[in-house]
Amino acid sequence: MRYAMLFLTALLLAGCGAPVVVRNPRSGETATCTEGVWDQSPWSQREACVADHIAQGWTTVNQK
C-alpha cells in the first residue's frame, strides 16, 4: 500500500512545471502563471495563461 501511494504521488507531481512570470511592458505590472494541483495536462492552465497574456502584448520574464 505504501508503494502505491508513493507511485500515485509521483504521478501527480510529474507534470508540475515552474511558474512563468509575465510582464506588461507598458505598465510594468507582472503576473504569475502556475499549474493547478490536479491538472492532468502539462499544457492546460499555465500554458493557457501565458498564451493569453502574450496575445495581449505581455512578455515573459526570464528568472534565474
pTM for the whole structure = 0.62
Mean pLDDT of the chain: 76
Give φ, ψ of 55 to 5 degrees.
-65, -25
Q: Is the pLDDT of residue 7 over 60?
A: no
Answer with the residue of higher pLDDT: 57 or 10.
Answer: 57
Whole-number pLDDT of residue 26: 95
Task: Tell me the C-alpha distance between 24 and 16, whole Å.
Answer: 25
Whole-number pLDDT of residue 43: 59
The percentage of residues in the chain with a pLDDT greater than 90, rounded to a whole number, is: 39
Number of domains in the chain: 1
| Residue numbers of the domain that contains 36 | 2-60
